[in-house]
Structure 1
Amino acid sequence: MKEQVYQWITRRAPAARDRYEALRRRGMSRRQALPVLVGGVASHLLRGSPVPDLGSGKQLPSGGSESAQNRGESPQALVRRLEAYGVISFDVFDTLLLRRVDRPETVFALVGAKLGYPDFARLRGEAEQAARRKKRQETGTAEVTLGEIWNQVSRRCALDPDRGMALELETERALCQGNPYFLPVVEQLRAQGKELVLLSDMYLPGAFLQQLLEEQGFGRFSRCWVSGEAGVSKGEGGLFALLREAYPHKSWIHVGDNPQADGAGPGKQGGTAFLYPNVHTQGEAFRAEDMSCLVGSVYRGLVNGKLHNGSAVYSPLYEYGFVYGGLFALGYCRFLREQAQAQRADRLLFLSRDGAVLLRLYRRLYPEDARPVYAYWSRLAAAKVCAGLFPADYFRRFLLHKADGSRSLKQILRPMELERFLPGLCKALDAGPETPLTHKNAPLVEQYLQGVWDQVLKAYEGQRLAAGRYYRQLLQGCARALAVDIGWAGSGPVSLELAVQTLWRLPCQVRGVVAGTNSLHSPERDGSEPLLLTGQLQSYLFSQAHNRDLWKFHNPRQGHNLFWELLLGAREGSLRGFYPQGEGFRLEFLPNPHGEAVEEIHRGVLEFAEEWLETERRLGLTLPISGRDAYAPLLEALARQNGPCRRSWEGYLDAPDLG
């Protein structure tokens, strides 16, 4: 209970906790150090947190998957509702068709990108408003066609309207996808011989809308009324009047997403309305907005369209990968490719376990690249293999980071594989095997092991030999290798580099790439900066000099590292170590109770990446994913108010000290 209270208090004042724990490590008693902790916490609470709140401030769902929130009736139930009517009319955009972006203005921005014209989205919007004003003055209606809009665009931009209209139609086609909720609905109603028509408040040509729907598998509709061509709209009731006049003796119902145009209008013309929940209205409450405009719009469009169309409910683990991991994994893989090309790497070592899904995605992106391989390496295995190279890190990882009284001396020596030293240690400390490791006796344990250091290193001799055999095979014929890891100190790539050069003397230079570095809240916050300076390490998401707001926000003390690592992981457990076997080696792993959960997360990651790649293919454009954009989705989940949401994932997190 005391430990829980301590953790609860110090999570809110990490700087005070760091000062307190530093004093305890130096041997100060709890009674002496406690006033420093209390004073630091009080000061923190009075002045407020120095860490800025980033993100969009969204309150994420805490009870199950997002796709289950506010879910309406099934497609089968909707068919039963609609089949009672003789004529069924459908809205087009945000109903039968979903754009791969969350706002129409993004279409104009992408047209501007293809035209190479600055600020085109704003100019296109102004031109549409001018065309509507002109039309209302001349005819009394504000309903316009695409041609009338582009006449106004050409006056503002001196662009060829024919080319511009062709590009806009091309971009709309690229971004449209059939709504999977309505595909079986339309198919079953058509099989029953129902009259199916389209009503759309839209400037695009009706023939073009029919063509889009046919391309997306909906077939051809009996009629298509669009406001720009008809001169009347759903919002003002004119399109519904045309429908009523065309089918005077049939009952009809209209399906659409707009509460005013689609929901209120039909009843005034003798029809019935079925209001379909707009996917972006449903998803807006949960989506990250602190992103660049184009990447953010495509990201939100894909996620909202997937989770809120109503056709399926996904598992929370799948959604964790799809919503928070896919954009990051795709952006990181492209960053890795850039680094591999720039550094002329002969081999890409995707370090276990965080490299597993990244390797799968990288090979999907670059199937012609023969350089990537999966490389077994872990903090636990590296600490033992490289104990003679990094003794301070060895003791910090195995002793100081675990000196909280929750583990006995016997339990501490087990992962170190030094159980043979337990009798001598107990005798030297005048303690029993079950004595807890604390900040007070941890230095004494370290002092004892340093006294028998040659024997400790000899205990790891076989592991050094076996690891050398493994990497000699993996790096054969390579002069330059790039080691890929999630982060955070860069110890994985750095320890591997020194082992390759010093222990095994292989003729290969190893450089590292990490997703993120140590942050402001890390005890060793400056540790990786010299490596970034010399280029031995590269970081994608953040560092002290790059996306500094994220560097200040990211807090391993609050589990941020673990939530990122949960997105990657692997089905197998963490590598326990390398061991000799004849003239070769064998690998031993710790158990992983969450292997199936990892696979479900990876499924979400990879399916998001596929949808993003399909969007780029259709657009003929590559959308660069910056590290800042890649972090943004998880930024929402890591915000203080979303602790209840995170609790649904906490059961799948690795232990903080797992190798």
Structure 2
Amino acid sequence: MSFEKFHAIEALIRRGREVAAGMDVVSFDLFDTLLVRRIHDPDLVKLPVARFIAARTVEAGQPWPWQKVQKLRDDIEKQHRRETAKTFVDHEACYPRVMLEALVQIFGAEKGGALLPEVTDYELRMENSMLVPRREMVAWLRDLAAAGKRIFILSDIYLPASHLEVLVDHAGFLDQVEAVISSADTFLAKASGKGYALVRDRFALAGLKWLHVGDNPVSDGLRPAEAGITALVLHDATEKHRKAVVKRYVNYSGGRPFWRGRALQQLMQPLEGENLHRSELYVEGFNFLAPLLGGFVQHIAEQCRARGIGKVFFLSREGWTFKRFWEQSIPYLFPDGRLPEIEYLYVSRMALAGASCAHQGLTRANADIAFLPPGNRDFRDLCRIFNLDVAALAPHLQRHELAVDTCLSHLHEGYVPWDKVRFYELLEDQAFQDEIKRQVAEPGEALHRYLAGAGFFAHRRVALVDIGWLGTIQRFLYEAVQHRDDCPVCHGFLFAATRGIPYPTTAGNSVEGVIYDRDRFDMAGSTILYARDLFEEACRAPHPTLNGYKLTAEGYELQFRGTDDNTGQAELQQDRYFSPLQQGVFDGAARYGAASALLGYSLPDYKPWLNCLLAGKLAFPRCREVTRIRQRHHLDDFYGRHVPKKVHVKGSRHLWDSSLWRLSLDPLLRLRYFLRHLRERIKE
């Protein structure tokens, strides 16, 4: 008996349609025929399961290394196969029996049995994350079912049919199949031919014309042919090459950290029917931003577990995206559930600035922060930022020989250093500080009520997650509540920390940059500074910025910026433009979680590759990339409307501010900016 072999799926299906016309029954192999794996070695899916079980042993007070858990599982499976071989031709094992025995040996009979469903659910979830339906093959299967053919799925694997049905259902075609048959249930496999006889007898297929389709020349070709079944075998060279590439990246990553991030990104890539036409912005979100955000939130989760942090608060509008990414990726990475609570907190610099003065008044450091943006010039800008009444404070300025329009920033014309000295003396004036506290008392109380309702004071340790860059939001938030006895220890995690102004780190309030931190020399990572606005706009929540907190009889009210003015409309336009980019980020979240869980790596392992992405995309971008992902509009209420001196304007220009014609025609432009960037970083 012989079978037909094909090297392209299109050729097999074309021939299959011809043959199937005269058939009553069509059966399919499952793996590498109807479904393909992202990973080259299916046994790698077992590793995150071993890490999950190891995490459970820690909770039980008898910690096992995950490697020991995996070895136990492998040894038990081998023993089961040896026992099966004494009675059956096929040396098969059955997953529930293997896993139950392993869990009982680790946890005891009662706890091990109770844990089996949880472990099984996670293993099947990881399997599903690594499986992709072959679009053409599944479409053909549907056509056959619609034509009235009896459809079966046959698989030689240690997973029983009930588990395979979960995988097929997730793939979306279980309703087209009469039955799923696994060798794990009977120990009769396709490899020996016994499985075909079993199916023929169980489903009364004797005398019916039967076509089988698979990828193994023995199990799916020779054995069905020997049983009188027409067989078509797929030998897909393209798929084998893809797996060889994955294998190479994974093997390289064992000794060379750079390849760990490359292996991660390879496992995240869409396959088969997932390869739909997408906009270029979507691709940027999926390929560029998603790995960066994945490493960011994974690091935060690991630190929360290590430090005993009870709740994570995602701050500002960028936190909305971080929280959503966390929800889709972290369950794959930490299935044991030992994670902090999470909540999105409505905050902004503008909303918190005034509230931070309610107890401590206006500090010199916070006043200096207000004059960091080049567009801020005088006391009116300070009052705008801290939500203060200029008129009520004017008499206090007059006592110190200052006016509301006195220039207080060295970036502007008319600046006199002595005026800044008078301003600092004003900050020491108790009457001035009392008036400020009076003006912001109600917003400060409204903030406290909002935080109490969000559970901020109910935890001993909390994490505050923000985009960056100076940590201003966390600074203002902590200063607004630090006087309370129930103020928690605040662990700040910034996507990137530029530290342009020293952060007041204390035992109760710390901040660190994750992807980049100026306090840790990282030249490649520092290229994130090229396009900070890009990350803010790409991660921004689809709601207006928060202007402040209003005290009401019922408690508090959140006050948002309007969207009916030109600035608000421009921001909405920017949101619509970046919508595909954000969707790419969110679609990459679960892929990141599953891929990283399988590889067993974390941010330090991926950092060399992520730095490569940052430097290539931001320091040496193609013109098309700049055209695509450079923001169209960027709202910054902190930034005033004054124009600084030309020398400061010129010095603040960056590569991503350059015109497209200059990016296209100046071959040394990127190199000059990069050399300038190197000098600036070295001087820091």
Instruction: Give the TM-score of the pair, scaled to structure 1.
Output: 0.55
Which residue of 2 is the match for residue 98 of structure 1? Answer: 36
Structure 1 match to 2:196: none
Q: Aligned to 2:452, which of 472, 475, 492?
A: 475
Q: How far apart in 1 are the matches of 2:153 and 2:40?
A: 22
Matched position secondary structure for 2:135: coil
Tell me which residue corresponds to 1:587: 559
Q: In structure 2, what is the equivalent of residue 301 of structure 1?
A: 267
Shift of 1:356: 1.9
Residue in 2 aligned with 1:509?
488
Q: Provide the residue aligned with 2:650 in structure 1.
A: none
Work out whether residues 347 and 372 of structure 1, in 8 Å CA contact, stay in contact via their aligned partners in 2. yes
- 1:638 is the counterpart of 2:619: no
2:38–2:132 contact (8 Å) kept in structure 1: no
Equivalent runs, 1:585-624 vs 2, <5 Å: 586-589=558-561, 591=568, 592-593=571-572, 594-596=574-576, 603-611=583-591
Tell me if structure 2 keeps the 8 A contact 1:322–1:607.
Answer: yes
Residue 651 of structure 1 and its aligned partner are, at CA, apart by 1.9
- Residues in 1 aligned to 2:415 and 2:144: alpha-carbon distance in whole angstroms: 74
1:177 aligns with 2:156: no
- Does the residue aligned with 1:554 lie in a helix, a strand or coil? helix
State the alpha-carbon separation in 1 of the partners of residues 259 and 38 from structure 2. 14
Q: CA deviation at 1:402?
A: 0.9
Please name the residue that 2:630 is paired with. Answer: 650
Distance 2:408 2:629 in 1: 33
Assess, with a 3 A threshold, how the Cα gap between structure 1 residues 303 and 176 changes in structure 2: closer, same or farther: closer
Pairing partner for 1:462 from 401, 416, 439: 439
Q: 1:442 to 1:193 in 2, by over 3 A?
A: farther
Q: Distance in 1 between matches of 2:244 and 2:369?
A: 46
Deviation digits for residues 572-613 of structure 1, max 9, x if unmatched?
233233355567555233644244567655554444444566
Q: Report the AA paired with residue 530 of structure 2.
A: Q
Q: Equivalent residue for 2:514?
A: 541
**Structure 1 residue 98 displacement after superposition:** 2.7
**What is the CA-CA distance between 1:79 and the residue it aligns to?**
12
1:606–1:650: structure 2 CA closer, same or farther, 3 Å change rule? same
Matching residue's letter, 1:514:
F
Q: Is the 8 Å Cα contact of residues 475 and 508 (structure 1) preserved in structure 2?
A: no
Whether the 8 Å contact between 1:296 and 1:629 is mirrored in structure 2 is no
C-alpha spacing 1:461/1:334, structure 2 compared with 1 (3 Å):
farther
Q: Matches of 2:238 and 2:338 in 1, distance apart?
A: 50
Amino acid paired to 1:628: P
**In 2: Cα distance, 1:294 partner to 1:637 partner:** 13
Contact 1:180 1:311 in 2 (8 A): no
Q: 1:378 aligns with which of 321, 328, 348?
A: 348
**Is residue 191 of structure 1 aligned with residue 146 of structure 2?**
yes
Flag the 1:175–1:394 CA change in 2: closer, same or farther, 3 A.
closer
- Whether 2:550 is the aligned partner of 1:572: answer no
In the alignment, structure 1 residue 489 sits paired with structure 2 residue 470: yes
Is the partner of 2:482 in helix, strand or coil?
A: helix
Between the aligned partners of 1:258 and 1:553, the Cα distance in structure 2 is: 39
Letter in 2 for 1:469: A
1:417-456 mapped onto 2 (5 Å cutoff): 420=390, 438-439=411-412, 441=414, 446=420, 450=424, 453=427
Tell me, yes or no, if the aligned pair for 2:524 and 2:611 is still in contact at 8 Å. Answer: no
Cα 1:549–1:629 shift into 2, 3 Å: farther
Distance 2:403 2:473 in 1: 36
Contact 2:469/2:497 (8 A) holds in 1? yes
Matched, 1:627 2:618: no
Supply the AA of the counterpart residue of 2:319: G
Give 2:111's aligned residue: none
- 8 A Cα contact 1:347 1:475, kept in partner: no
Q: Which residue is 2:665 aligned to? A: none
* 1:427-471 deviation per Cα after TM superposition (whole angstroms, max 9, x unaligned): x99999999983554566756755765698646743353133222
Hey, what does 1:139 align to over in structure 2? none
> Structure 1's 637 and 104: CA in aligned 2 closer, same or farther, altered over 3 A?
same
TM-score (norm 2): 0.53
Change (3 A) 1:573 1:319: farther
Confirm or deny: 8 A CA contact 2:394 2:404 kept in the other structure.
Answer: no
SS across alignment from 1:401: coil
Q: Distance in 2 between matches of 1:163 and 1:92?
A: 17
The answer to whether the 8 A contact 1:517-1:542 is kept is: yes
Are the structure 2 counterparts of residues 351 and 259 from structure 1 closer, same or farther at C-alpha, using a change threshold of 3 Å?
closer
Once residues 616 and 261 of structure 2 are traced to their aligned partners in structure 1, the CA distance between those partners, rounded to angstroms, is 25
Where 1:489 maps in the other structure, the secondary structure is coil
> In structure 1, the residue corresponding to 2:470 is in which secondary structure?
coil
Q: Deviations over 1:150-200 (max 9, x none)?
A: 99xxxxxxxx99699989x9899566524263333431355357999999x
Whole-Å Cα distance in 1 between the matches of residues 407 and 379 of structure 2?
6
Q: Is the 8 A contact 1:206 1:226 kept in 2?
A: no
Q: What's the CA shift for 1:511? A: 0.8
The correspondence for 1:258, drawn from 205, 214, 237, is 237
Partner letter of residue 475 of structure 2? V
Provide the identity percentage: 17
SS in 1 for 2:621: helix
Q: Is the 8 A contact 1:410 1:433 kept in 2?
A: yes
1:500 shift after superposition: 0.9
Q: Residues 258 and 95 (structure 1 numbering): CA distance in 2 closer, same or farther, change over 3 Å?
A: farther
Contact 2:495 2:513 in 1 (8 A): yes
1:402 aligns with 2:366: no
Q: Does 1:499 align with 2:477?
A: no
Q: Contact 2:316–2:345 at 8 Å: present in 1 too?
A: yes
User: In 2, Cα distance between the equivalents of 1:568 and 1:189?
Assistant: 45
Partner SS for 1:643: coil
Distance 1:247 1:222, change over 3 A: closer
Secondary structure, in 3 states, of the residue corresponding to 2:540?
A: coil
Name 1:352's counterpart in structure 2.
316
Equivalent residue for 1:312, pick from 276, 283, 290? 276
Report what 1:557 is aligned to.
Answer: 529
SS at match of 1:508: coil
User: Which structure 2 residues correspond to residues 220-231 of structure 1 after superposition, within 5 A?
Assistant: 222-224=211-213, 226-227=215-216, 229=218
- Mapped to 2, the partners of 1:207 and 1:579 lie a distance apart of 60
- 8 Å CA contact retained: 1:198, 1:223: no
